[in-house]
Structure 1
């Protein structure tokens, strides 16, 4: 059985990034057959009125321009669909997710593709997948009342059908980076158990 991992790094820092280091360590631990890499250091285009218009136009009625507008979103969704496991490096900025990760979410959370509406409410379509999220914070404890990153990521992943979510935390690194990294790496080693 092959294991395909979608590896997403959302830190704008390419050097000395805690989440990049942790997500790379998670990837080594998983020993995936195939890795799809999506580095969000290069900003994705934010959705706008033109994108929304294209998205809400039925597939059969989309113009070539509308198809081109949705091409990146379609590519991101294809990456997500191929993956068995999603590894996300998610630094906390101002108590929440980075702009680049929010934009990625906006581009993949599409009715009819990653979720659908039913009489019973929304239903995620990305089922059978696992997510491992490496979170780093400067001073905020993970799961604190003012941590708007962890709960949001668990919710939005669950919304699209990914309910098996493991959080690897290196929180409050400003109070002791080495100790926090050692704890996070112990959590990563436990993934194989």
Structure 2
């Protein structure tokens, strides 16, 4: 039985990345209706930013944790369990100031755990979240997939690097770009993205 972890992270009302990411996750689930679909809305329910309780707690034995440290680690453990249980990840994020949203970055901070999602071995780094497929749905006002602004896209290489670090190398990017180029630009971007997800879920 397959399972899907859907992460949406755009704070914008009527977010294109959220809309397309949800549609993709639902289309994928329709192919395997017995599978679970877990939706973590990081915009509506933002995670607390990583603090000293978390960064200190990860280096302590359980019996020495303070209440705050234990709470931070419980949250991290829950998020790690979700990603390890999933066969497929769908990550929807807005493109803000040339990168991902801060709430998605907080999620990354909590799931990047040595001994949980990656480890160091005698032969080097090993990601522990292997064998998964990830889709990144990235919405942007301008065009960043090509042309002079492509060098400003720090979101795509960053997310791919983070996912590869924990063992997820099968990553596909669905762009919803040019949405600020008038009504036609937004409509064309959504139409192209929907055509892409139709091919993916076929």
Equivalent residue number for residue 24 of structure 1: 22
Report deviation, 1:58: 4.1
Find runs of 4+ consecutive structure 1 residues off by over 3 angstroms: none
Query: Structure 2: which 5+ residue stretches go unaligned?
Result: none
Q: Does 1:142 align with 2:141?
A: no
Which residue of 81, 87, 90 maps to 2:84? 81
Q: How many residues align?
A: 190
Which residue of 97, 101, 104 maps to 1:98? 101
Report deviation, 1:179: 0.7
Separation of aligned partners in 2, 1:148 and 1:180: 20
**TM-score, normalising length: structure 2:** 0.89
Report deviation, 1:62: 4.1
Q: Is the 8 A contact 1:8 1:38 kept in 2?
A: yes
- The Cα offsets for residues 5-54 of structure 1, whole Å up to 9 and x where unpaired, read as 001101113x3110111011101220252111100012211112221110
Which residue of 28, 44, 57 maps to 1:54? 57
Separation of aligned partners in 1, 2:27 and 2:49: 33
- The Cα offsets for residues 140-183 of structure 1, whole Å up to 9 and x where unpaired, read as 41361110001100110111011111111111221210111111
Q: Is the 8 A contact 1:140 1:147 kept in 2?
A: no
Which residue of 146, 158, 161 maps to 1:152? 158
Separation of aligned partners in 1, 2:157 and 2:142: 17
Report deviation, 1:67: 2.5
Equivalent residue number for residue 172 of structure 2: 166
Separation of aligned partners in 1, 2:108 and 2:61: 21
Separation of aligned partners in 1, 2:65 and 2:194: 49
Equivalent residue number for residue 37 of structure 1: 39
Query: What SS class does the counterpart of residue 152 from structure 2 fall into?
Result: coil
Equivalent residue number for residue 182 of structure 1: 191
Report deviation, 1:127: 0.3
Separation of aligned partners in 2, 1:55 and 1:140: 40
